[in-house]
Amino acid sequence: MADETARAEAEGQVAEVAAPATANPNSPYAWPKESRLLSTRVNRIDGTLKVAGKAKYSYDMQRPGMLYARILRSPHPHARVVSVDLGPARAMRGVKAALTIVQPGAKVMYVGDEVAAVAATSEDIARDAIRAITVRYEVLPFLATVEQALRPEAPAVFEGGNVKESQVEEEGNLQAGFAAAAHIVEQAYNTQVQTHVSLETHGCVCEWDGDKLTAWASTQAVHGTREGFATSLEIPQANVRVITEHMGGGFGSKFGPDVQGVTCAKLAREAKAPVHLLLDRREEHLASGNRPSAYARIKAGVSADGMLTAFDGETWGTGGAGAASGFPLPYIYAFPNRRRVHKDVYINAGQQRAMRAPGHPQGCFITEMLMDELADRVKMDPIEFRIRNLPPQAPNAMWREYFKIGAQRFGWDKRHATGDQAPGPIKRGMGCAANRWGGGGRGTQAQCEILPDGGVVMRCGTQDLGVGTRTLMAIITAETLGLPVSAIKVELGDSNLPFSGGSGGSTTAPAVSPAIRVTASKALQELAGRVAPALGVPADQITASDGRVHVKGDPSRGLSWADACRRLQTTPISVNGQWEAGLSASGTSGVQFAEVEVDVETGVAKVSRILCVQDCGLVVNQLAAESQCIGAMIMGVGYALYEDRILDRNTATMVNPNMEWYLVPGMSDVPAIDIMLMNQPERGVIGIGEPPTISTAAAIANAVANAIGVRVRSIPITPQKVLAALDGERAGGTL
């Protein structure tokens, strides 16, 4: 797991942006003022492996004698398990192990909840075998929708109630705020349940050697998963090794070993053979987490001169069976008088998990829609209106500036008044939205070896979720040692390597980068000590650049890297180092702009362009940081227009648990993407994984309203919702 701050951030519980730390220019390890590699565009060092299909993901692991496991899942949304008979499954040819996950007497809480599992010599046999398990259920009343759960006559499904009301958040004087308002907007907004859709599904391959377990797991935290296995299996952490060589995404849903991981390890122990247990796409949608839904009923006031005066919000949402659904609201903008109450509503569906900037896309969508509606009331340009109501500018709060440069780059002056008057069915419009995030990290350790033949190995037990961490480690090592990126061998994704925290809360780059910088610097100091006698200067007068180890300020007085390393004779340099303060920081800000085309005859909305203006402190790899923005915004397009976990209201069964009907953007849905990365080298490294996904849906939804002259206040903005909104408008509704 990530550290406490990261976890709180990941759960959307940090109400304020963490105090911005700034890098310390006096740190002995300070980032170089003139860098060769930092902030340039460096290709992934494992890119060739990946495009050639040679990178081995956990899913691809093959071990001698490996078995395949499948999990039997509940077909009922709510039931008590009366009995489980594994006998018929165990008796099948090829079945090597079977176990019960839910003990008789206990309950299953949603369709897809784990009941039992088997391991067999083939995946087909395992699938047949779970069908042979006989389970008797006592079927219980269930809740399939938020509306059902909120009814007074709803059956009591969850201990302690189906609804959990939060503390009231309050500030200022609401009554006075509304009294000062010239206009009041009262509206309702809603966001859907979104699933993570990591391309690589959850799970692992487990293998025992005596009492030692090795797990090749698809995880965002190799060390956290080691701890999870040790705790669940009651074995020492020293007996567990977790390896994640390559990974196909997690987005917040892959921190511990999970039910399937522990099940896999137990099956492998029973069968005395390696076991492969990775989920299929249906299981992935049902049981591996999601972004909870959000509903909001808001009353907000604005003064005649366009200042926000009051915000009164009642919100609710569902994180599924007994899980929370909180999100920050109002988001970013300064409402001097405000009140907010939130209710977690439980239904019989798979539980929420942290998902890329947990809570923020919901809070952003609701607030940014409201901001446009308030701007309309005072007939003010949405950007001018936003700028007027932003908190004070700071290094982690640069929205004012970003709105201005973004508007210019995007051509905001060409935005027409709301409701495109152009003839024909295609209406165009523009919208915008802002975001904030923490993105600080700490606590990572690393080890660097310099070998007598000149080789350099940098080791760190972090994991590369697919974002380019391996390359980031190589860049920083190469920069520090004055070598090309290709000269560095990187080892990561293994709990036997030096400790690093989980990759959550955009903490990886700010936790790992300083550790690598410190460790590589220490290794260089040691090498300098070995060559100092030959150069006739003290070690602290020696540096490395351009493949040479030389006297500072005089590259001609030195040795080639290879000659310097030869002086090590037979003993490599091996140093350990760790994260230090002063090289990374926390607190990002960004804004996004979207342009859409909406066909008012079919209701189909399409995003034509998006611009993201985003900072993340010192950019380590321009290419990887832009790539994070691109992926995040494509995810935001899906959130705005397509993705929706649809439960049948009569059976609480997900009707689209696949990638045919759970729609994620395809290539033809991806707009032209423009990115302005605002480099803040003086702040040190800050994470960027999450912030660029926050504002995309809000900007798109505002652009749709600007295009068609009527607001769709619920995402995904499907053709049906667009047509219904247009019909409502014709019937006399108001914008």
Reported as type and span, the H/E element at residue 296 is strand 294-302
Subset of residues 559 to 588 that bind ligand MOS, contact rule: CB under 6 A: none
Which residue lies nearest ligand MOS, judged by its C-beta? 252
Q: Applying CB under 6 A, what is the total number of residues that bind ligand MOS?
A: 10
In angstroms, what is the minimal distance from the CB of 13 to ligand MOS? 12
Give 631 or 671: the residue with its C-beta nearer to ligand MOS. Answer: 631
In angstroms, what is the minimal distance from the CB of 157 to ligand MOS? 28
For ligand MOS, the binding residue among 177, 261, 301, 358 (CB under 6 A) is 358
In angstroms, what is the minimal distance from the CB of 395 to ligand MOS? 22
292 near ligand MOS, rule: CB under 6 A: no
Among 119-127, 198-206, 351-359, 567-575, the segment contacting ligand MOS (CB under 6 A): 351-359
CA distances from 269 to 206, 208, 212, 218, 263 (A): 9, 7, 10, 20, 10
**Share of the chain residues as helix, strand and coil, in percent rounded to the nearest 5:** 30, 25, 45
252 near ligand MOS, rule: CB under 6 A: yes
Q: Distance (Å, rounded) from C-alpha 148 to C-alpha 78?
A: 15
The helix/strand/coil state of 541 is helix
Q: Distance (Å, rounded) from C-alpha 225 to C-alpha 500?
A: 12
Q: Which two tokens stand for residue 604?
A: 């189909």
Among 45-53, 348-356, 481-489, 526-534, the segment contacting ligand MOS (CB under 6 A): 348-356
Subset of residues 5 to 24 that bind ligand MOS, contact rule: CB under 6 A: 10
Q: Distance (Å, rounded) from C-alpha 364 to C-alpha 371?
A: 10
Q: How many CB atoms lie within 10 A of CB 586?
A: 28
Give 78 or 356: the residue with its C-beta nearer to ligand MOS. Answer: 356
Torsion angle defined by CA atoms of residues 539, 545, 551 and 552, in that order, rounded to the nearest 10 degrees: -90
Subset of residues 217 to 236 that bind ligand MOS, contact rule: CB under 6 A: 220
Q: How far is CA 537 from the centre of its chain?
A: 49
Q: Distance (Å, rounded) from C-alpha 322 to C-alpha 358?
A: 17
In angstroms, what is the minimal distance from the CB of 490 to ligand MOS? 22
In angstroms, what is the minimal distance from the CB of 122 to ligand MOS? 34
What binding mask, one character per residue, do residues 496-535 give for ligand MOS by CB under 6 A, x or -?
Answer: --------xx------------------------------
In angstroms, what is the minimal distance from the CB of 623 to ligand MOS? 21
Give 18 or 390: the residue with its C-beta nearer to ligand MOS. Answer: 18
Q: How far is CA 585 from the centre of its chain?
A: 19
Give 7 or 377: the residue with its C-beta nearer to ligand MOS. Answer: 7
In angstroms, what is the minimal distance from the CB of 658 to ligand MOS? 23
Which ranges of 205-334 would DSSP assign to H, the alpha helix? Answer: 222-233, 258-271, 281-287
In angstroms, what is the minimal distance from the CB of 655 to ligand MOS? 26
Give 198 or 396: the residue with its C-beta nearer to ligand MOS. Answer: 198
Among 168-176, 241-249, 259-267, 354-362, the segment contacting ligand MOS (CB under 6 A): 354-362
In angstroms, what is the minimal distance from the CB of 280 to ligand MOS? 22
CB 577 within 8 A of CB 539: no
- The contacts of residue 348 (CB under 8 Å, 6+ apart) are 77, 78, 109, 110, 111, 142, 143, 144, 157, 320, 321, 652
In angstroms, what is the minimal distance from the CB of 524 to ligand MOS? 33
What binding mask, one character per residue, do residues 177-216 give for ligand MOS by CB under 6 A, x or -?
Answer: ----------------------------------------
Q: Distance (Å, rounded) from C-alpha 191 to C-alpha 427?
A: 24
Angle (deg, nearest 10), helices 696-708 and 360-377? 30
CB 643 within 8 A of CB 634: no
Tell me, what DSSP letter sits at residue 59?
G
Tell me, what DSSP letter sits at residue 246?
B
In angstroms, what is the minimal distance from the CB of 678 to ligand MOS? 22
Query: Closest Cα to residue 276, out of 201, 196, 197?
Result: 201
Among 185-193, 270-278, 353-361, 647-655, the segment contacting ligand MOS (CB under 6 A): 353-361
For ligand MOS, the binding residue among 73, 202, 356, 470 (CB under 6 A) is 356
Give 162 or 220: the residue with its C-beta nearer to ligand MOS. Answer: 220
Give 313 or 438: the residue with its C-beta nearer to ligand MOS. Answer: 438
Reported as type and span, the H/E element at residue 694 is helix 691-694
355 near ligand MOS, rule: CB under 6 A: yes
In angstroms, what is the minimal distance from the CB of 23 to ligand MOS? 23
Instruction: Give the interface with ligand MOS as residue ranges (CB under 6 A).
Output: 10, 220, 251-252, 354-356, 358, 504-505
